[in-house]
Structure 1
C-alpha cells in the first residue's frame, strides 16, 4: 500500500545541487520525501512497511516512482527510524527489518546516509515548529532557553528531549519508553497485575502504544468480569470517540492519564520548563477528546511539585510531517548551505 499526500512547501532561496532523501520509518509505515531546497519537501509518499521485505526494497520502490525519479539522482539521505541507533547494525524493535547502515548506503547508491532514532529527529524539529504546527493543552508558559521534553505513542512509545547548548540545541538519544511502568492508583495497579500475566517486565510502552490500548482494554474487561474481547486499538478509539462504548471510553481516559503521568515524569527529570511536546500517531487523532481527558491533571499531579508542573506547558504536535524537519536539520548540520 502506498499513499501520496500533500505537504506544505516552504519558500527557499536556492536549490540544492541534488535532491536529498528524507525518511521517517516507523513500525507500521515508512514516509519518504525529497528535499529540493532548504525547507522544500516534495513527492511525499507513505509506504506500508509490511509490503516490503527490507528497508532497501522500500527505498528503491520510492526512488523508482516516476515523479521521484524525474527530480534527479539522490546523493544524500537521512532516515529517522523507530529504533535505537548505536553503531552500524540496526534491528527494529517493532518490525522485522534489520540492516547495516553502510551496506544499505552502498546498496541504494547514496554518497551519504545518516540514520538516527525517530524521536531524536523529532526533537530536532521542535524549534522549527510554527504556532499552527502545535496545540497547547492546559496552562503554563514556556520559559525561553529551557530544555524541552518530547514523547509520543504509536506503534511504540518514543521519548526524547532537547537541551540548550550555547546558541544551538542537543537532542537526546533516549529509549525512555522502556522504563518500568509505575501505577498511580488502585485501578492502574489492577491493570498492571493483569499485564504481568503476559509480560515479565511491563514498561511504559506496554500501555502507551497501539498494542497498549488493546492491553488496557483486555485488562478492564477482565477486571469488570465481562466477556473476553479482542478489539483492535483503532476500533477501541472509534467506539470511544463515537460514544458507543463505555469500556472503550474508559480505556482512552486511562491511556491519557497514564500518558500524563509519564509526561510529568519526563518534565521533572529534564527540567523541561520550555514545554513538553506530544507526538506519535495516537494522540493527534484524538482532538478535543484528548484536551478533555485526564492527561493534564495527571501531568500536574506530582504532590509537592504540582505548582512547578502547572507552569510547564504541554503541546500536541499537529504538523503532518514533523520528522522531516528534524532529519532536514540533521543533514543541514553535515552539509550547511
Structure 2
C-alpha cells in the first residue's frame, strides 16, 4: 500500500500519523481551534512531514452519515468528498472513532495490555471492546474467515444503568430525580465519576468537597475513604455493565477495556470489585469467568484502527 495518512479527530484535538506497511510513524497532535478546516490541518501536517499521500482515513468523534461528520464542540465539518478533492487523493475514508478503537485492538501488542482477568480466548469468536472516556463506547469485534475484522458497532453506552444493591438503587433514584433518563455513560465516563461522587454526597447529606473527576481519583488514591468508596462503586458498575454486554455478544474471544479513564487508576482498578461484578450473572457466572479481560494501555489505538480500516480496503 502507498503512503497514507490516518487521523483521530475529537472535539479539541486532531491526531495525525503516517501509515505504511502496517506501521504508524510521525504522530503529531494539532489543536482543532488553530485551523479553519480539517483540510487546512492535514495540509499543515503534510508540509511538516515533507510527504505526499494517496489516501487517508479519519476516525471522528461522531456519527458518520453520507460520508460526513459534524463534530460536537468543534467548528469543523468533515466531508470525505471535500478531503479527497482538496487534497487530491485517491481515497478518503471517514469512520466513527470507536470503530477505529475496536479495530486498533487487532494491532496492540502484549506489552500494551494489562491483564485484568485470566481466561481462555477462543479463536474465531466475538471480542468485546468497551471504552470509558468522554462517553462510553461499546463495540463487538469479529474475526472473519479471510483474516479481516468486522466491527459490530452500536450505542451500547446508552443502555439503562442497572442497580443491584440498595446503595446503587438510592444513587440511581437520585440521578433519576435530576434527569429524565439515566444511561450507563451517565456514570461510566470521565465526567460520570464526578456525577457519582455528587450523587453519593447528596444521598449521604455530605458537602461536596471535590469538584472534578481528577480530584475524586486523586483523593481516592491518596487514602480518602469516602472518595475510594465512590471509585469502588464506579469500578463495580463498570463490571456489571461490561458483563451484560459480554453475555449479549457472547464475547468468548476476549474483552478489552479501552478509553482514557481506567488507566489513570490501573493499580486500584485491579484490586477493585470489577471482576466479581463482571462475572456476577447467576447461572452464567462460570461462562463469564472463562473470558480473558485486558486493560488497553496503547498510546494510539484509534490511529492504528484507522490504518487497519485502510488495509482491509486494499
TM-score normalised over the length of structure 2: 0.91
Greater relative contact order (Cα 8 A, min sep 6): structure 1 or 2? 2
Q: Equivalent of 1:320, from 289, 299, 305? A: 299
What is the CA distance between 1:96 and its match in structure 2?
Answer: 5.6
Matches of residues 25-104 of structure 1 in structure 2 within 5 Å? 25-35=9-19, 37-49=20-32, 52=35, 54-64=37-47, 66=48, 68=49, 70=50, 72-93=51-72, 97-104=76-83
Residues 104 and 142 of structure 1: CA distance in aligned 2, closer, same or farther (over 3 Å):
same
Matches of residues 163-202 of structure 1 in structure 2 within 5 Å? 163-168=142-147, 169-202=149-182
What is the CA distance between 1:110 and its match in structure 2?
Answer: 3.5
Residues 96 and 186 of structure 1: CA distance in aligned 2, closer, same or farther (over 3 Å):
farther
Q: Equivalent of 2:195, from 203, 215, 227? A: 215
| C-alpha separation in 1, matches of 2:28 and 2:60 | 16
Farther-moved stretch of structure 1 (273-282 vs 192-201): 192-201
Q: Which runs of 5+ in 1 are unaligned?
A: 1-15
Aligned residues: 313
- Note if contact 2:124-2:144 (Cα within 8 Å) is conserved in structure 1: no
Residues 179 and 96 of structure 1: CA distance in aligned 2, closer, same or farther (over 3 Å):
farther
Partner of 1:307: 286
- Note if contact 1:137-1:291 (Cα within 8 Å) is conserved in structure 2: yes
Q: For residues 16-67 of structure 1, give each alpha carbon's deviation from its aligned partner in whole angstroms, at most 9, with x where no partner exists.
A: 54x31111223443221112x3133222112344555654454344334x3x
Farther-moved stretch of structure 1 (26-35 vs 231-240): 26-35
Q: Equivalent of 2:90, from 100, 108, 111? A: 111
Q: State the secondary structure of the residue aligned to 2:111.
A: helix
Q: State the secondary structure of the residue aligned to 2:89.
A: coil
| C-alpha separation in 1, matches of 2:75 and 2:243 | 32
User: Cα RMSD between the aligned structures?
Assistant: 2.2
Residues 93 and 25 of structure 1: CA distance in aligned 2, closer, same or farther (over 3 Å):
same
Q: Equivalent of 1:256, from 218, 235, 252? A: 235
Farther-moved stretch of structure 1 (115-124 vs 41-50): 41-50
Residues 49 and 236 of structure 1: CA distance in aligned 2, closer, same or farther (over 3 Å):
farther
What is the CA distance between 1:161 and its match in structure 2?
Answer: 0.9
Matches of residues 127-276 of structure 1 in structure 2 within 5 Å? 127-168=106-147, 169-229=149-209, 231-243=211-223, 245-276=224-255
Farther-moved stretch of structure 1 (290-299 vs 47-56): 47-56
Partner of 1:7: none
Q: For residues 229-271 of structure 1, give each alpha carbon's deviation from its aligned partner in whole angstroms, at most 9, with x where no partner exists.
A: 461112221222222x323212211111111111111111111
Residues 54 and 251 of structure 1: CA distance in aligned 2, closer, same or farther (over 3 Å):
farther
What is the CA distance between 1:167 and its match in structure 2?
Answer: 3.2
